[in-house]
Structure 1
Amino acid sequence: MPETGFRTHSAHWGVFSAGWQEGELVVRPHPGDPDPNLILQNFPKALRHEARIARPMVRRGWLERGPGADDRRGRDEYVPVSWDRALDLLAAELKRVTEAHGPAGIFGGSYGWSSAGRFHHAQSQVHRFLNFTLGGYVRSVNSYSAGASNVVLPHIVGPTEDISRRNVSWEAVAAHSEIVLAFGGMALKNSMVAGGGISRHIERGAMQAAAERGCEFILVGPLRDDLPEEARAEWLSIIPNTDTALMLALAHTLATEGLHDRAFLARYTVGWERFEGYLLGRSDGQPKDAAWAAPITGIPAEAITALARRLPGKRSLITVAHSLQRAEHGEQPVWMGLVLAAMLGQIGLPGGGYAYALGALAHTGRRQNAVSPAALPQGRNRCGEFIPVARIADMLLNPGGEYEYNGEKRRYPAPKLVYWAGGNPFHHHQDLNRLRRAFRQVETLVVHEIGWTATARHADIVLPVTMTLEREDIGSSQTDPLMVAMHKLVEPHGEARDDYAIFTALAARLGKEAEFTEGRSAREWLRHLYGKTQADLLAKGLPAPDFESFWEAGEITLPQAEDDGGILRAFREDPEGAPLPTRSGRIEIFCETIAGFGYADCPGHPAWLPPQEVPEGKAPLHLIANQPATRLHSQFDFGGHSAEKKRRGREVMRIHPLDAAPRGIADGDVVRLENGRGACLATAEVTEAVRPGVVQLPTGAWYDPEDPAEEKPLCVHGNPNVLTRDAGTSRLAQGCTGQITVVEVTRFTANLPPIRAFTPPDRVAAE
């Protein structure tokens, strides 16, 4: 079969073109990408995988008994139905719930990265549908990735977007940084991904250029490869979740040896004196010096003081990774990293100061586009109810229960129907056995999905949707200059429909089709969204091809703004004329607002707050449950690249030889990870790239319980979220704490159970 024409497309992990050769889909990264992402190679084998959902399905128990709590969710059979039957059932259920409970009766979940396309973006589609047809929904705020920082940063320095995306650029790091102290590192597997797509992966090259110029990179973390080899980094191996203690000790050395920038602190910050009393031990009797921090962090006191003395007098950059705040008291390292940078006086200078989440996504450290990207309007949500995103199980298990958040005393909503499109909470959420119990409480769970994820297996109504290659769209982001025509490359799998078609049909049944569609087909929406960008280009006097020319060419290059350093650069240059959007207008080392909330788990200045979960007894090892390198979250876990990197069909857990040997674990053995919340199997890789006392198992392996009828079944595939703790970072942010937990690891000697994560659930004959 001859090669057919290659056409452009885009994904969160890269811009590419694809075509058919000898009956196989071939994916080619964009030729301008200096460091393409291999996750693109998940596409070919994912297209027609058995895990795909081919037709609408209804859970047997819901179909027979109607809406209501049901402990058979997650282990029931499914009944194939026609599209008309599924849509009629769903429209009637939406009408029932909203007539009885209003918009507050529906939780619009849809947390996820479903598509780089700006129109067929499932989260935007479902929110638009709920707003235009039902008047709104209970929403979630913040993110699993940055739940703590999203709340604390605006109080102490400014919005997360400004501090992470419009602050320190990779260009400035390559040209100006002299020493980069990277707490949690800047792993390339994370910066390979960007919402809306990415055409050039520049992070590796920027760090290599900086290192070749003489910039020193220092990685603080328990995993050696959280900075690439090109950075030539020193590895400061630290006990997990003790970074705040190290930062305090560094600050103590700077303060007691007079190495801090007192002029910067006086002009640009508030609260130094109150924090200094805590740092030096005047307020609590405990100086936060290197001797104090050494046993907490596992780093010798002399190494701490030596590092502190290297930082002043250089263009120093303090970076704090997302991972640090995805843990107990996650607000503290974010805040203390800012204080440490303020003490060095480099904030606002090119390549210096403070960079939260640099390298966490490909969006960070890049120039902003000078024109608006395409975006589907979501309409107005008339329901004021919301929850912090990581508190969904709390809401479902304790409707009406009280909780605290960002200075407010709130009550959890009591939704009856959960509508999920574009996302997989059985990947993102923690303590999956608790989540299973939570999802059994709702009256109806609706899921749009391409494949039989664990979330789909708990749903009452399952609607098969197209994957990105099976529809047209526009790829676009705020920080990448390419706008990409995402051509349809293959026909939909089975009876799959795109979200827009599904919601259009539902809106018609609810008498709201005109409001939802505004009279446009999917192609007409693409033309309309592109028209906004075209108008922006024309207004700036720039070339603006019409839609047909753009679609034929496959891409256009958008203008980008200059790297102006954002609000921190402006603030440094003119603190009175360009104050920060904080209560004081300055960097808040002590924050009166947070102090006024009276939270013992998040006081008015950064502090060392020991974690509740520490290795001991039956759980003597730290587990790092970080992001995977072979897929985005759990997307296309069944794809070729993801599958090839598993061992013995299971996710790979890394363990240090000093921990493997006494447990009789050899490289390639299947092991059991366990704590009081659950257990899972994985395949061991014995390596010195992890700190002794630490094991690492990435998230994203599809949850696969050996016996779903058990209260705490063994996940045979390697999903670490059966082990992680479902608790908020603090009463301030209620962010997730899924990065770090404690476990025991043993060699698994029983017969290996089969892996059924990608096998569709049992079904009974169609109605």
Structure 2
Amino acid sequence: FYLGYGLQRYVNGGRTVRAIDALAALSGNIGCSGGGVFYAHQYHKENLNSLLLPPGNYQNRTFPHATLAAELLKKENEPRPELAFVTRTNPLVTQPDTDLWRKLWSAIPFKVTLERRWSETALQSDLVLPVTTIFEEEDLLATSWSTFIHYARPILKPRGEARSEARIFTELAQRLGLQAYFPYTPTEWLEYILEPWREAGLTLENLRQGPLRAPYIPQVAWQDKKFRTKSGKIELITKEEFLSTEDGPVENYFRQIGLAGSNLFSTTREGYGSVNYDAKSSGKSDEVLIEKSNVNTHEYSHDNNIVDIGAKIDERINENIDENSAELQALNSKIFDFSSYTGRKCQVKKRAKEHCYVLLTPHPDMALHSQFQEEEIIRAYLHPATAAYQGIADGDEIVVEGEKGEIIATAVLTPVIHELTIVIPEGCTVQAVGVNNLIPGRLSSMGENTAYYDTFCWVRRREKKDNKQR
């Protein structure tokens, strides 16, 4: 099983991956050639030398990407940052909740950015240090998606005062009195990284002759059937995780993305099975006993489907029923209301043509996050049926409103996406307006990922009053 990049972009993404893992395990496809579940690995990080200072030589605080700006702006999180040092990212565009990031950025007294182009973060920095591109420096290429390590040789001379990041950090460490920890030249750093596997032939000299398969990555994962769990076996779910969910998985999922109380789904509590954990009677400390497993009770309440509700509302309004009538108020109450958890008054209106869509923000085909992506416009992809329903034509300027703001985009009609989705590839315009203006900093339930895809939006044709990007 090869997993796509988008699975972890949901609040429930970790559980989805676990379900796929369980399918592979239960079907006997773990530890065998051609089997397994693969997204990415951590072998390089675990086996090559680290460039970090030794533990105890520095203090640090860590926060998830999704909530970093919010956490650093909290009064109780002292000390407040006095200096920002940014490399290999463009947070004023690529991080969720762009407006909050700009607020944080303006509150930091001195900002330094290492960049090879004038990104929005570089433009808003006090000091910009130019760095070399991959074509101007010697480096190693090793990713979490490959078992091979490649050597990158420079083919161009650095332009102007551009330096490699390795050289910048080494010279900076020497000026700060940390030269004992950063004593190498850029080439010596590469040799130091590979040092643990010199005897296995993984050397800079050999890599210059061609790519090498990392000797620490097994040909078949888990072939010995020994797993890094307390029991040494595959554990599909732990006791603590199973018992920590008061409601069923559907209710718990909607609670995490802020839709607690939504009537979108109807479930029967008994259907999830009653849980009786009794370590003494089972004799196994990690066993969960399911006394009742009639789990096929997730009944999708069709009357509460947001499209059908909207259609009913339209139908009743067309019959000249008072929009403030109890009947229409009851229907409207079943449509999502985000105002209770986003802090932004963002209710779905009564008319079906203004109902919400799922906003998806995949990687663009020819760009990397915000790099090589600066264009004059943002393109929003809609299904033709969706566009017709909203009165939008191909090429129209539209307003896309999310939980954190709104942006102006150009509509592109395509039949290859779902009718209830709006797709806007990540990136930004030359004015540094990007889709992350719409996305809140919401955490996934596992792994501290950003739940980019658990975002809803509204679309409409742009009117004269919509005269600016927000």
Normalising by structure 1, report the TM-score.
Answer: 0.43
Compared with structure 1, are the counterparts of its residues 473 and 345 closer, same or farther at alpha carbon in structure 2 (3 Å cutoff)?
Answer: closer
Matching of residue 665 in structure 1 with residue 339 in structure 2: no
**CA distance in structure 2 between the partners assigned to 1:561 and 1:516 by the alignment:** 26
Compared with structure 1, are the counterparts of its residues 424 and 673 closer, same or farther at alpha carbon in structure 2 (3 Å cutoff)?
Answer: same
Structure 1 position 328, deviation (Å): 2.7
**CA distance in structure 1 between the partners assigned to 2:91 and 2:172 by the alignment:** 24
**CA distance in structure 1 between the partners assigned to 2:163 and 2:126 by the alignment:** 18
State how 1:408-557 maps to structure 2 within 5 Å: 414-477=80-143, 479-481=146-148, 483-492=150-159, 494-512=160-178, 514-518=179-183, 520-526=184-190, 534-537=198-201, 547=205, 551=208, 555-557=210-212
Structure 1 position 590, deviation (Å): 4.0
Contact in 2 for aligned 1:453/1:702 (Cα 8 Å): no
Compared with structure 1, are the counterparts of its residues 590 and 497 closer, same or farther at alpha carbon in structure 2 (3 Å cutoff)?
Answer: closer
Structure 1 position 686, deviation (Å): 0.6
Candidates 356, 364, 370, aligned match of 1:628: 364
Contact in 1 for aligned 2:358/2:453 (Cα 8 Å): no
Amino acid at match of 1:517: F
Larger RCO (CA within 8 A; separation ≥ 6): 1
Matching of residue 674 in structure 1 with residue 405 in structure 2: no
Compared with structure 1, are the counterparts of its residues 532 and 488 closer, same or farther at alpha carbon in structure 2 (3 Å cutoff)?
Answer: farther
Contact in 1 for aligned 2:356/2:457 (Cα 8 Å): yes
Structure 2 alignment gaps of length 5 or more:
260-334, 337-347
**CA distance in structure 1 between the partners assigned to 2:211 and 2:19 by the alignment:** 42
Structure 1 position 653, deviation (Å): 1.9
Matching of residue 687 in structure 1 with residue 354 in structure 2: no
Contact in 2 for aligned 1:386/1:413 (Cα 8 Å): no
Amino acid at match of 2:182: T
Candidates 715, 727, 740, aligned match of 2:454: 740
Aligned to 2:422, what secondary structure does the other structure show?
A: strand
**CA distance in structure 1 between the partners assigned to 2:28 and 2:126 by the alignment:** 56
- Alignment partner, residue 76 of structure 2: 400
**CA distance in structure 2 between the partners assigned to 1:379 and 1:504 by the alignment:** 12
**CA distance in structure 1 between the partners assigned to 2:429 and 2:387 by the alignment:** 26
Contact in 1 for aligned 2:378/2:429 (Cα 8 Å): no
- Alignment partner, residue 220 of structure 1: none
Compared with structure 1, are the counterparts of its residues 488 and 564 closer, same or farther at alpha carbon in structure 2 (3 Å cutoff)?
Answer: closer
Structure 1 position 659, deviation (Å): 0.9
Contact in 1 for aligned 2:362/2:426 (Cα 8 Å): yes
Normalising by structure 2, report the TM-score.
Answer: 0.67
**CA distance in structure 1 between the partners assigned to 2:22 and 2:199 by the alignment:** 43
State how 1:334-353 maps to structure 2 within 5 Å: 334-352=17-35
Compared with structure 1, are the counterparts of its residues 430 and 481 closer, same or farther at alpha carbon in structure 2 (3 Å cutoff)?
Answer: closer
Structure 1 position 723, deviation (Å): 0.6
Structure 1 position 558, deviation (Å): 4.3
Contact in 2 for aligned 1:445/1:459 (Cα 8 Å): yes
Matched positions, count: 374
Structure 1 position 563, deviation (Å): 6.0
State how 1:314-329 maps to structure 2 within 5 Å: 320-329=3-12
- Alignment partner, residue 253 of structure 2: 609
Compared with structure 1, are the counterparts of its residues 559 and 380 closer, same or farther at alpha carbon in structure 2 (3 Å cutoff)?
Answer: closer
Amino acid at match of 1:720: V
Contact in 2 for aligned 1:332/1:606 (Cα 8 Å): no
**CA distance in structure 2 between the partners assigned to 1:550 and 1:675 by the alignment:** 48
Deviations 1:283-334, CA, capped at 9 Å, x for gaps = xxxxxxxxxxxxxxxxxxxxxxxxxxxxxxxxxx5x6544233223333322
Deviations 1:460-501, CA, capped at 9 Å, x for gaps = 332222222222323345734453242141432x43333233
Contact in 2 for aligned 1:677/1:723 (Cα 8 Å): yes
Aligned to 1:683, what secondary structure does the other structure show?
A: strand
- Alignment partner, residue 261 of structure 1: none
Aligned to 2:358, what secondary structure does the other structure show?
A: strand
Contact in 2 for aligned 1:395/1:413 (Cα 8 Å): no
Structure 1 position 749, deviation (Å): 5.2
**CA distance in structure 2 between the partners assigned to 1:663 and 1:446 by the alignment:** 45
Structure 1 alignment gaps of length 5 or more:
1-316, 402-411, 539-543, 572-577, 644-648, 706-714, 756-767
**CA distance in structure 2 between the partners assigned to 1:585 and 1:374 by the alignment:** 26
**CA distance in structure 2 between the partners assigned to 1:327 and 1:702 by the alignment:** 25
**CA distance in structure 1 between the partners assigned to 2:101 and 2:393 by the alignment:** 33
- Alignment partner, residue 378 of structure 1: 52
**CA distance in structure 1 between the partners assigned to 2:467 and 2:366 by the alignment:** 24
Compared with structure 1, are the counterparts of its residues 592 and 454 closer, same or farther at alpha carbon in structure 2 (3 Å cutoff)?
Answer: same
Matching of residue 565 in structure 1 with residue 226 in structure 2: no
Deviations 1:519-557, CA, capped at 9 Å, x for gaps = x3334444555666554318xxxxx7x84x865x5x354
